[in-house]
Amino acid sequence: MRTRKLHHTYDTENDNQIEELELEIGTFLDEYDVEYPTEEEIMLTIHAIRPHVPVKENKWNTAIKGMASIIKQAYEEMFYVSPLFWTANGLLFLIALTGVFVMDGNPYTMMMVLAPIPTITGLIEVLKSRNSGMAELEMSFKYSFQELILSKMLVVGGFNLVINLLVTISFGMLNQEILVSKLLLYWMTPFTVFTALSLLFVGRYRGIYSITGGVVLWLTSSVFLSQTTVVERIESMPAEIYLLVIAAAALTVLFQAIHIYKRGVSFETNH
């Protein structure tokens, strides 16, 4: 398939012939002038081009556009998340409510323990495409793989947020003694921390490991929390520390999301 090298002498001979031919028929060719469009016609073309000139690269605009497409995609994704995810998480929170109201458990620690569950179980959904061999296909789509992962995380995180808020509100309404602000702090902390951790996981590790990792981490912290001494310790911590942790975790979430969006997920295609 290599192009054959023409012989050198043939080459120069050919060049000369081309020049000669041009000279020979030049006077004819010069007769072939062009009927150029009028000024008005050129102007029409320029107007037709205008909409195709790139819009000023505004960092904010691109960021917002990126966000919008992820949110739009997240909305689409919602219809395709397996029903198991919704029902399992719904059930868990019913258990939490009964735990508090029927069995008189500590609502704060209960919230703390249950808050990150939807995110952890949601990872299964997020990583579904990897585990079912869809990832390679998804990488070839118009929406990039990164956008898909993020929009899935958004669905999962959003659902988690909504369900926690609902529980907080129902606690607040049904039990007057509960401090809503304290409750908020108690679930916001594990929620943001776990979301941050899951994003870190999603970016780095393969499918099933991150889920197992998440579950193990959650179990250890729950066992930890069920000890009364630990609970007392935690309760005695000032609100500022909670806020600090929440802020740090939220920032991690933000940076990690941007990182994934820009760089993509470490993904080694393999057989």
Ligand X SMILES: Nc1ncnc2c1ncn2[C@@H]1O[C@H](COP(=O)(O)OP(=O)(O)O)[C@@H](O)[C@H]1O
Q: Which residues bind ligand X (CB under 6 A)?
A: 268-270
Q: Hey, how many other C-beta atoms are within 10 angstroms of the C-beta on 154?
A: 20
Q: 242 vs 267, which CB is nearer to other proteins? A: 267
Do residues 139 and 145 lie in contact, with contact meaning Cβ atoms separated by under 8 Å? yes
Least distance in angstroms from the C-beta of 77 to ligand X: 28
- What are the structure tokens assigned to 107, written together? 């609502």
- Residue 133 — left, alpha, or beta (φ > 0 → left; ψ -120 to 50 → alpha)? left
* Residue 138 lies near other proteins (rule: CB under 8 A): yes
Partner whose footprint covers residue 12, from ligand X, other proteins, none (CB < 5 to 8 Å by kind) = none
Q: 266 vs 269, which CB is nearer to ligand X? A: 269
Q: 9 vs 270, which CB is nearer to ligand X? A: 270
Question: Which residues in 34-53 contact other proteins (CB under 8 A)?
Answer: 34-37, 41-42, 45-46, 48-50, 52-53
Question: Which residues in 181-220 contact other proteins (CB under 8 A)?
Answer: none
Q: 57 vs 268, which CB is nearer to ligand X? A: 268
CA distances from 53 to 40, 48, 66 (A): 20, 10, 20
Partner whose footprint covers residue 140, from other proteins, ligand X, none (CB < 5 to 8 Å by kind) = other proteins
* Residue 80 lies near other proteins (rule: CB under 8 A): yes
Q: Which helix (H) or strand (E) holds 20?
A: helix 8-29
Partner whose footprint covers residue 235, from ligand X, other proteins, none (CB < 5 to 8 Å by kind) = none
Selection from 202, 248, 246, 235 nearest residue 106 by Cα? 235
Q: 17 vs 181, which CB is nearer to other proteins? A: 17
Q: Which segment (32-40, 90-98, 102-110, 236-244) binds other proteins by CB under 8 A?
A: 32-40
Partner whose footprint covers residue 42, from ligand X, other proteins, none (CB < 5 to 8 Å by kind) = other proteins
Q: Which segment (138-146, 199-207, 217-225, 253-261) binds other proteins by CB under 8 A?
A: 138-146
Q: 22 vs 136, which CB is nearer to ligand X? A: 136
Do residues 245 and 193 lie in contact, with contact meaning Cβ atoms separated by under 8 Å? yes
Do residues 178 and 171 lie in contact, with contact meaning Cβ atoms separated by under 8 Å? yes
Selection from 82, 84, 111, 97 nearest residue 190 by Cα? 111
Which residue is it, tokens 């070839």? 140
115 SS3 class: coil
Least distance in angstroms from the C-beta of 150 to ligand X: 25
User: Considering just the CA atoms, what is the radius of gyration of the chain in Å?
Assistant: 31
